[in-house]
Amino acid sequence: MALLTITALTDSVGAEVTGVDPERLAADDSLARSVLDALEDTGVLVFPRLGLKPEAQVAFCRRLGAIDHSSDGHHPVPGIYPVTLDQAKNSSAAYLRATFDWHIDGCTPLHDECPQKATVLSAKQVATRGGETEFANSYAAYEAFSDEEKERYGALRVVHSLEASQRRVNADPSPEELARWRSRPTHEHPLVWTHRSGRRSLVLGASADHVVGMDLDEGRALLAELLDRATAPHLVYRHRWSVGDTVIWDNNGVLHRAAPYDPDSPREMLRTTVLGDEPIQ
């Protein structure tokens, strides 16, 4: 018998999982395996009103892979990072305004770390207005290319930077801010990521600054056009949060962004990140 009851949410990305016991999710290896398989198939899994406790969320994620502890210290439970614009709950909140633009987590790491494999968010508090999270399937975006586009775009390389993603939400940084952004190395990635599985996805989003060897403006126009195509409504699932929802996404093949919400909103998501082991290549 299948371990999970899964219902597709759109034709291209996202599925809902029901009937799961949160304690079992934290304690059962075969269930974790089924979640990873379902994630590979659907890109995003939604567990409505699961009520997963922070400790159980970390235990669950540990069954999916090694988890990221580099942002510990903002929440009492190690492995949990609060995603909120409230500086009182997270002193690094200012950076999170960049989540309003489409992105893939971990395209501009401190060193040469691979992008995260998967990210889990659980809603502790939700926004009264806005604050949905949107997901776009970038495997499907690649598949929609013509053969000629697959060949042409398959050869492109793109430089990603923290500065590119921060500038979109903070166009006029102080010299100190700029210096902090620039202390993070830039990274050159292929536009098309060929995964171990043989599938291909697009590496696009806020951190993508320019196309190597192309006129700057032309390259940026191309990146914007490709992002528009990759995030066309038929490739997107938009999650409207209820308190207690848990969502997990495949950070290798899915772009995501938060819909705008009031900076004074109490919205708070508890995030746990499963580290990746697949370089963008």
Binding site for Mn ion (CB under 5 A): 105
Q: Between residues 83 and 235, which has the closer beta carbon with respect to ligand OGA?
A: 83
Quote the least distance from Cβ 103 to Mn ion, whole Å. 6
Contacted by 133, from ligand OGA, Mn ion, none: CB < 5 to 8 Å by type: ligand OGA
Phi and psi for 46 in degrees, rounded to 5?
-110, 125
Q: Between residues 22 and 43, which has the closer beta carbon with respect to Mn ion?
A: 43
Q: How far apart are the first and last CA of the chain?
A: 37
Quote the least distance from Cβ 245 to ligand OGA, whole Å. 11
Strands (E), the chain: 5-8, 15-18, 44-47, 81-83, 118-125, 133-137, 157-160, 187-190, 192-194, 200-202, 208-211, 236-239, 246-250, 254-258, 268-274
Structure tokens at 71: 């942002």
Q: 41 vs 11, 223, 253, CA distance in Å?
A: 12, 26, 11
Q: Between residues 141 and 206, which has the closer beta carbon with respect to ligand OGA?
A: 206
Quote the least distance from Cβ 165 to ligand OGA, whole Å. 11
Q: Between residues 26 and 235, which has the closer beta carbon with respect to Mn ion?
A: 235
Contacted by 191, from Mn ion, ligand OGA, none: CB < 5 to 8 Å by type: none
Contacted by 83, from Mn ion, ligand OGA, none: CB < 5 to 8 Å by type: ligand OGA
Q: Which residues contact ligand OGA (rule: CB under 6 A)?
A: 83, 99, 105, 119, 121, 133, 256, 258, 269, 271
Contacts of 86 (CB under 8 A, 6+ apart): 93, 264, 266, 268
Q: Between residues 131 and 190, which has the closer beta carbon with respect to ligand OGA?
A: 131
Quote the least distance from Cβ 249 to Mn ion, whole Å. 9
The answer to whether 181 and 173 have CB atoms below 8 angstroms apart is: yes
